[in-house]
Structure 1
Amino acid sequence: MDQRPEAPSHETRPAPRVLFVCVKNGGKSQMAAALLRSLAGDAVEVSSAGTRPGEGLNALSVASLDAVGASTAGERPRQLTEDMMRVADRVIVLGAEAELPQVAGVTVERWITDEPSERGIDGRERMDLVRDDIAARVRTLLAEL
């Protein structure tokens, strides 16, 4: 008779950690975080931060997210720290403006999102287009994770 313990039916591993960064942490990085949380639930640990965080979330970003059922409830702009970068499995910067510190062993990805204002599109229409661009990238990221 075989005395070996049975192998677990599924492998247990920690949830991947994703950190989204932008300058103010009130718009694009918050959108990416909310969209990933909405799609992944507890399967991914999601956070966001800013290099120079603002005072609050962008109202148009929040409204655009609400329209697709992605919540920013309880979120606020946070200051990026090197520790946040070190514990993340993926660090993703949204936009070209944010400059991050060089942290040994940390690879930073950059998503240059569509900017509809460059085509004269503003307001809620602009924000929905930005959201849709980020959402497509988030779906690809989730598939990779």
Structure 2
Amino acid sequence: MSHRPSVLFVCVRNGGKSQMAAGLMRQAAGDAVRVESAGTDPGATVNALSAQSLLEVGVDIAEQQPRAVSDQLIADADLVVTLGRDARVEPTDGTPVVRWDTDEPSERGIDGLERMRLIRDDIAARVRRLTAELSSSATS
């Protein structure tokens, strides 16, 4: 029986980027990867524009609830991915942590749904690459 890899996506509020990455990974990998998301300072709800941008590509995260990252979530993951510049996570029990310094269109004056679409597309490309890496390492 092969190992089912697990990925924990983390951003600050767990309402936007990490929820987007988790939703996109679930879509891309299906049941082949266990996916979780959390925040270093979680908010109360998922960002409505993040959810709307994902609905456009068939991913529904509207029912997800932000939650705090914990040592247990980190330890249970095979890989932790932080999204954005502000989320910081200390590795637990040797779990590797990588940072995706995602596109931030607001720095170029792009806001609203257009901003979220660009962020979604950046994260989606990274998720596709990670899904391919995980599936090739699971079979080797």
TM-score by length of 1: 0.89
Residue 49 of structure 1 corresponds to which residue in structure 2?
38
Residue 47 of structure 2 corresponds to which residue in structure 1?
58
- In structure 2, list runs of 5 or more residues that go unmatched: 135-140
Higher share in helix: 2
- In structure 1, list runs of 5 or more residues that go unmatched: 1-11
DSSP 3-state at the match of 1:24:
coil
Would you say 1:89 and 2:57 are equivalent positions? no
Q: Quick check: which has more Rg, 1 or 2? A: 1
Q: Give me the whole-angstrom Cα distance separating, in 2, the residues matched to 1:105 and 1:38.
A: 28
Runs of 4+ in 1 over 2 A off after TM superposition: 101-104
Aligned residues: 134
Change in 2 beyond 3 A, CA 1:34/1:136? same
Residue 67 of structure 2 corresponds to which residue in structure 1?
78
Structure 1 residue 102: deviation in Å? Answer: 4.2
Q: Give me the whole-angstrom Cα distance separating, in 2, the residues matched to 1:130 and 1:23.
A: 15
Residue 126 of structure 2 corresponds to which residue in structure 1?
137
Would you say 1:100 and 2:95 are equivalent positions? no
Name the % identity.
59
Q: Is the contact between residue 16 and residue 45 of structure 1 (CA under 8 Å) also seen in structure 2? A: yes
Q: Give me the whole-angstrom Cα distance separating, in 2, the residues matched to 1:101 and 1:52.
A: 14
Q: Give me the whole-angstrom Cα distance separating, in 1, the residues matched to 2:90 and 2:97.
A: 10
Query: What CA RMSD, in Å, does the superposition of the two structures yield over aligned residues?
Result: 1.0
